[in-house]
Amino acid sequence: MIRALFEAGADVFRINMSHNSHAELADKVRVIRELEENVGRPIAILADLQGPKIRLGTLPNGERDLAKGEKVHLVRKPSVESGDDIPIPHAEIFAAIQPGEVILIDDGKVRLKIEDVGKDEADAIVENGGVIKNKKGINLPDTVLPIPAMTPKDRSDLDAALALGVDWIALSFVQRPDDMADLKKIVGNKAGCLAKIEKPRAIDWLPEILDLSDAIMVARGDLGVELPVQEVPGKQKLITKMARKAGKPVVVATQMLESMITAPVPTRAEVTDVANAVFDGADAVMLSAESAAGDYPVEAVSMMDKIAMTVEGDPQYIPIMNSQRNEPESTTPDAIMAAVHEVTSTIHARAVVCWTKSGSTALRAARERSDAPIIALTPQLEVSRRLSLVWGLHCIYTEDAQDLDDMVDRAARFAFLEGFAKPGERIVVTAGVPLRTPGATNMLRVAFVGPQKSL
């Protein structure tokens, strides 16, 4: 099935640590790495850490029906004996919440507004009524909780994932830049660090969080609980725009083809939703339950792939991308990549070929959203895998070039052998000279593709 998903268009496989033991994680990583070796293409693995889970305690009879306008008493206890109190066994909530702030229960189905707060108790009024049940989740959209994004379970899962060589780590419950700084200290250069933006407070700190992250995810599930749902599309566009400006890959996730959990085709609204994410410049779009637990996982991946390919072939796509381009910074790599974009468009080059060791050259090329495919050649296997998340990159793990002539010759051969260019067509080659100097992009060459032999 994983092979079928890859062949249908998946570039990255997310393993959700909310639902996987370390043994299951290791088994999935093994299967994906075996597939990678069989197909000869780099495949990225993303380990998604669970983050803190804040839940109700235990209620008498397991549930309680709350009426709109009813006054309720919240207590810091794991369970209650009478039906008058609601147990919330989290001291940090009572330490942080203030009158006027909101508590959401069960994905926002029930809404309470705090009126008064004590050390281990609080009074609230029910704004949206409904039935609450044992252990249902709690969201606090107005409150910055004094808890780290990484729990002891997350730290254990992180150590296991890094030991297995996963390519990306996604951190849930990011509220502050410090959350990403803590993750980066542990991960170092072993994997890319992705911040999941699912808390409204994270949006307030977005520039600082972007600085500390290697990629961003618009996690619309929890974001849509903690924000009014009508605000989520605007926040999605804002996050995507800011990530694009910062040159960081951005993933749009949650409920993208939700109906395909049980249906072989999506709704028209879902297709439009995915297409809009691509038109906004997202690097990747992500399936969750559709592929993890749905009845039509391959069809969902195939549909997502078709939508993205169709949008990128639409006459409006390149003009929209060009309108989003940022002015290059006053650095040699930015100037070279701006020139690569102009040259590629002017001469209708069939491909851009980037030689990259750290991945920075390929990231800059992708940021320009060229109208030609980008081939990223790297001697670092882990870099080729990590770059699989990035827009437009066809990543190839290969030995490093020996000299400038070898660099241009092999770029042309890869463009031909991978099916991007025919003999007589032109490609644009970019790299850093002297060779093997990370982050020193300073060369642009136009090359003709000739009759090629195997590499």
Parallel, antiparallel, or unpaired for β 284-286 and 351-355? unpaired
Task: State pLDDT tens for residues 61-77.
Answer: 899 999 999 999 999 99
Q: How many CA atoms lie within 13 A of 448 on its CB side?
A: 4
**Could you give the angle at the alpha carbon of 441 between the alpha carbons of 438 and 444, nearest 5°?**
145
Q: Are residues 126 and 260 in the same domain?
A: no
For the cut 70, the answer to whether the pLDDT of residue 454 exceeds it is no
Specify whether 397 is located in the same domain as 353.
Answer: yes
Percent of the chain clearing pLDDT 90 (strictly above):
82
In this structure, are 127 and 261 located in the same domain? no
Distance CA 22, CA 156 (A): 9
Supply the pLDDT for residue 440. Answer: 76
Mean pLDDT of the 243-256 span = 95
Q: Looking at the structure, do residues 312 and 347 belong to the same domain, yes or no?
A: no
- The confidence score (pLDDT) of residue 434 equals 77
Residue 453 has pLDDT above 60, yes or no: no
Q: Which residue has the higher pLDDT, 328 or 449?
A: 449
CATH number of the domain enclosing 98 = 2.40.33.10
How far apart are alpha carbons 455 and 445 in whole angstroms?
21
The DSSP annotation for 236-283 comes to HHHHHHHHHHHT--EEEESSTTGGGGT-SS--HHHHHHHHHHHHTT-S
Q: Which residues pair with 255 in a beta bridge?
A: none
What residues are annotated to the active site? 14, 55, 196, 254
In angstroms, rounded to a whole number, what is the distance separating the alpha carbons of residues 88 and 121? Answer: 9
Query: From CA 237, how far away is CA 235, in angstroms rounded?
Result: 5
Q: How far apart are CA 166 and CA 169, in angstroms?
A: 8
> Does the residue 455 lie in any domain?
no
**Cβ 16 vs Cβ 48: under 8 Å:** yes
**Using one digit for the tens of pLDDT, what is the confidence trace for 171-185?**
999 999 999 999 999
In a domain? residue 103: yes
CATH number for position 169: 3.20.20.60
Q: How high is the mean pLDDT of the chain?
A: 94
Q: Are residues 24 and 43 in the same domain?
A: yes
Name the nearest CA neighbour of 76 among 99, 61, 94.
Answer: 94
- The arithmetic mean of pLDDT across residues 361-368, rounded, is 92
Query: What's the mean pLDDT in 344-358?
Result: 94
Q: State whether 44 and 178 are in the same domain.
A: yes
Q: Which of 247, 243, 193, 184 is nearest to 218 (CA)?
A: 243
The residues near 37 (Cβ < 8 Å, ≥ 6 apart) are: none
Comparing CA positions, the residue from 173, 285, 195, 295 lying closest to residue 243 is 195
Residues 6+ apart with CB under 8 A from 450: 412, 423, 424
Q: Is the pLDDT of residue 128 over 70?
A: yes
Segment 199-228 mean pLDDT: 94
pLDDT of 436 higher than 70? no
Q: State how far the Cα of 58 lies from the Cα of 2, in Å rounded to an integer.
A: 39
What lies within 8 Å, CB to CB, of 183 at 6+ separation is: 149, 150, 158, 169, 171, 193
Which tokens belong to 90?
Answer: 């989290």
Is the pLDDT assigned to residue 437 strictly greater than 90?
A: no
**Residue type for 454, please?**
S
Asked whether residue 453 is assigned to any structural domain, the reply reads: no
Q: Would residue 291 count as lying in a domain? A: yes
Q: Are residues 92 and 202 in the same domain?
A: no
Bridge partners (DSSP) of residue 445 are: 429
Question: Does 219 reside within a domain?
Answer: yes
Lowest-confidence region among 6-10, 80-84, 339-343? 80-84
Same-domain pairing of 14 and 43: yes
Is 2 within 8 Å of 137 (Cβ atoms)? no
CATH number at residue 355: 3.40.1380.20
Same domain, 294 and 336: no
Judgement on whether residues 198 and 308 belong to the same structural domain of the protein: yes
Among residues 116, 181, 188, the alpha carbon closest in space to that of 150 is found at 181
Rounded to whole angstroms, how far apart are CA atoms 375 and 355? 8
- Print the domain residue range for 128: 60-139
Chain segment 23-57, per-residue pLDDT in tens: 999 999 999 999 999 999 999 999 999 999 899 99
246 pLDDT more than 60: yes
Quickly state the pLDDT bin for 146 (edges 50, 70, 90): confident
179 falls within a domain: yes
* 454: in domain: no
What is the C-alpha separation between 389 and 132, in angstroms, rounded? Answer: 39
Model pLDDT for residues 408-421, shown as the tens digit of each residue: 999 999 999 999 99
Are residues 248 and 163 part of one domain? yes
Asked if the structure places residue 442 within a domain, the reply is yes
- Domain boundary (121, 139, 157) is at 139
pLDDT of residue 432: 84
Q: Residue 236: pLDDT band by 50, 70, 90 thresholds?
A: very high
Which of 316, 347, 380 represents a domain boundary (last residue)? 316
CA dist 89 and 139 (Å) reads 14
Q: Which of 111, 139, 167 is the last residue of a domain?
A: 139
Same domain, 287 and 383: no
User: What total number of domains does the chain contain?
Assistant: 3
CA neighbor of 365 nearest in space, from 424, 315, 411: 411
